[in-house]
Amino acid sequence: MSLIKAVIIDDEKHGLVTLQHLISQYCEMVEVVATCQKSTDAKRIIEDHQPDIVFMDIEMPVLSGFDVLSQFDEFNFQTIFTTAYDQYAIAALRLNALDYLLKPIDREELRDAIDRFTRRETTASKKQFQMAKQFTQSGVMDTLALSSSKGLHFVKIKDILYLEATSCYTNIVMNDGQVHLVSKTLCSFEEALNDHSFFRAHKSFIINLEFIKHYIRGEGGEVIMTNNASINLSRTKKQEFLNFFTKI
């Protein structure tokens, strides 16, 4: 099997050195063919070396990682973002089906990312990068990229009826009746949907408040959605839920 060629883009020298060391020690199937600290040189470095994977820092002077990628019309490489913790950046990457490593990079997470690449479980498109950039800048997103075995589905957040946890997966139920099964946990959606009209009604459900038809009183209560789905409301969430609505 031929080696996987990788390029590392990071404006911080210690970030480059650390990741390169981890790859050499724990990912014997990966060869780092080039590194780059200047974001303005990143496109040329990638084009010159034609890597299979680009490890891309998000926050860099002059051009962000998203800005670098926006210079490409087509992607003949897979991007794995590297970033220090930022709630908006992480939420954007998760929701747009983009792969990432959180700094300081853990060797097991690095190996998992390489495994996902070899299994072809990660995908990327210019639209995904653009939506992730929009979200990190404004904290607002109107579209989600949902990854499935058949590819990517782009859905409008406002059209999501509710999200239901099922083991390590999430069912995303749309207002038009479509259901998308996504290999992400419910928690990975909660933070990014917080600025929209969504509410964590139960450990297994996030509901869109715009699509509630009835509320039935009880210990916690029961919410009836516009598609007639019945969703139990957690007892600890009851008052918070009722506070959203003004009684007449």
Distance CA 247, CA 235 (A): 20
Please state the rounded mean pLDDT for residues 21-50. Answer: 97
Query: Dihedrals φ, ψ of 39, to 5°?
Result: -60, -30
Distance CA 142, CA 149 (A): 23
Query: Dihedrals φ, ψ of 224, to 5°?
Result: -105, 120
Question: Two tokens at 194?
Answer: 């917080």
Summarised one tens digit per residue, pLDDT across range 153-206 is 888 889 999 999 998 889 999 999 999 998 888 887 887 687 678 999 999 999
- Cα dihedral 216, 218, 219, 225, rounded to 10, equals -20
| Range(s) within the chain of domains with CATH label 2.40.50.1020 | 143-242
Summarised one tens digit per residue, pLDDT across range 217-233 is 888 789 999 999 999 99
CATH topology of domain 4-138: Rossmann fold (3.40.50)
Degrees to nearest 5, angle at CA 163 with 221 and 146: 175
Please state the rounded mean pLDDT for residues 99-123. Answer: 89
Q: Domain 143-242 carries which CATH code? A: 2.40.50.1020
Q: Residue 192 has what pLDDT?
A: 67
More confident residue, 203 or 152: 203
* Confidence bin at 248 (pLDDT 50/70/90): very low
Q: Say which residues have a Cβ less than 8 Å from residue 123's Cβ, sequence separation at least 6.
A: 97, 147, 151, 152
Cα 233 to chain centroid distance, Å, stands at 27
Is the pLDDT at 247 greater than 60? The verdict is no
Is the pLDDT at 236 greater than 80? The verdict is yes
The 8-class DSSP code of residue 3 comes to P
Q: Residue 223 has what pLDDT?
A: 95
Please state the rounded mean pLDDT for residues 112-129. Answer: 84
In this structure, of 106-110, 138-142, 172-176, 182-186, the range with the lowest mean pLDDT score is 138-142
Q: Say which residues have a Cβ less than 8 Å from residue 31's Cβ, sequence separation at least 6.
A: 3, 4, 5, 6
Please state the rounded mean pLDDT for residues 92-115. Answer: 89
Length of the chain (residues): 248
Cα 120 to chain centroid distance, Å, stands at 17
Q: Residue 16 has what pLDDT?
A: 95
Q: Say which residues have a Cβ less than 8 Å from residue 9's Cβ, sequence separation at least 6.
A: 35, 36, 39, 42, 45, 46, 54, 55, 56, 57, 60, 65, 68
| Range(s) within the chain of domains with CATH label 3.40.50.2300 | 4-138
